[in-house]
């Protein structure tokens, strides 16, 4: 870390985020049960002639189910471990795609464009783009195709990823543009231009290295934002990978076991069998906390580094 001492916030963020990433990649290998293993209703007769009905949901810690089962008899821990890849890797992929496209556009606009005042048309255009109600647009796009879709869960996940990526590019571009405008006025940039460095050389050798810390922080912030959108959409039964809708009674189930979807489909267990609701909720909150700690730790470190060359 360039010989700079890491703070406790950053260390905690790195540890927790690394653990979450490992779960996303290797989680299914440690699942205690198969994704289709299901506890069936059984009529059990014990010694002495007594009998009882063995039926889900199974409470946490009983019969080899550390987090218990849902009301359909599926192991909650297994569902979390299988759904982690959709929750973590997909949100990371969407954030990376947003950053790649928006970051490039923002750097080009910031370096090649002319500085604009707050009242200028260019600034107002970006304000309009940044004001796009992302949740509402995604909800409208996905509402008619997410229920019992014919497409595979992966295809539906990629479709949602594409929509979220496109809608997130303007915000990233605007942020990077403002940072680039500030950096291009620094003396190390003007000195490089005076010495004959081409514009693309300046961008690649001077602007990009000084923006890499900001890009990493933006990446983490975008992951948090995408995860928040996953959770908001799940409240309206729009789950990552598509929603399976059952009738009589009406129920909504996640096809991928993405954590936001597990929370959304378990809202009916808020008062009874609460582990079905709180297990994915705790996993989801812990993921957000780990990313928040990592983002804040990096932001503090970046601010210290930026202050070191702000006098140039």
pLDDT at 49 (0 to 100): 66
d(CA 256, CA 153): 7
pLDDT at 132 (0 to 100): 65
51: DSSP letter:
E
pLDDT at 311 (0 to 100): 45
d(CA 257, CA 78): 9
pLDDT at 129 (0 to 100): 56
Position of tokens 């990493």? Answer: 216
Contact status, residue 47 vs residue 55, Cβ threshold 8 Å: no
Count CB-CB contacts under 10 A for residue 114: 8
Q: What percent of the chain has a predicted confidence (pLDDT) above 70? A: 84
Q: Which residues of the chain have pLDDT under 50?
A: 1-3, 119, 121-122, 309-312
pLDDT at 45 (0 to 100): 67
Distances (CA, A) of 297 to 7, 88, 218, 303: 7, 20, 13, 10
pLDDT at 5 (0 to 100): 62
pLDDT at 62 (0 to 100): 87
């Amino acid at each position: 870390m360039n010989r700079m001492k890491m703070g406790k916030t950053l260390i905690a963020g790195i540890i927790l985020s690394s653990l979450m990433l490992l779960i996303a990649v290797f989680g299914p290998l440690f699942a205690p049960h198969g994704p289709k293993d299901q506890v069936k209703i059984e009529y059990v007769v014990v010694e002495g002639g007594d009998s009882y009905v063995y039926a889900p949901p199974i409470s946490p810690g009983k019969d080899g189910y550390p987090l218990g089962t849902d009301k359909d008899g599926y192991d909650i821990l297994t569902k979390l471990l299988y759904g982690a890849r959709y929750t973590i890797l997909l949100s990371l992929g969407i954030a990376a795609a947003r950053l790649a496209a928006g970051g490039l556009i923002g750097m080009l606009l910031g370096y090649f464009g002319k500085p604009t005042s707050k009242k200028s048309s260019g600034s107002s255009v970006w304000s309009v783009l940044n004001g796009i109600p992302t949740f509402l647009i995604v909800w409208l796009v996905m509402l008619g195709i997410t229920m019992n879709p014919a497409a595979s869960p992966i295809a539906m996940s990629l479709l949602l990823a594409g929509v979220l990526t496109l809608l997130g590019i303007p915000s990233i571009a605007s942020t990077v543009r403002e940072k680039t405008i500030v950096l291009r006025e620094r003396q190390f940039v003007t000195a490089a231009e005076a010495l004959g460095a081409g514009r693309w050389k300046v961008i690649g050798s001077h602007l990009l290295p000084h923006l890499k810390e900001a890009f990493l922080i933006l990446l983490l912030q975008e992951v948090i934002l995408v995860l928040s959108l996953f959770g908001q959409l799940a409240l309206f039964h729009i789950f990552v990978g598509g929603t399976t809708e059952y009738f009589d009674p009406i129920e909504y189930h996640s096809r991928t076991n993405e954590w936001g979807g597990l929370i959304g489909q378990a809202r009916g267990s808020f008062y009874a069998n609460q582990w079905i609701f709180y297990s994915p909720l705790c996993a989801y909150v812990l993921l957000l906390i780990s990313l928040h700690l990592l983002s804040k730790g990096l932001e503090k470190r970046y601010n210290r580094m930026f202050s070191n060359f702000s006098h140039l």
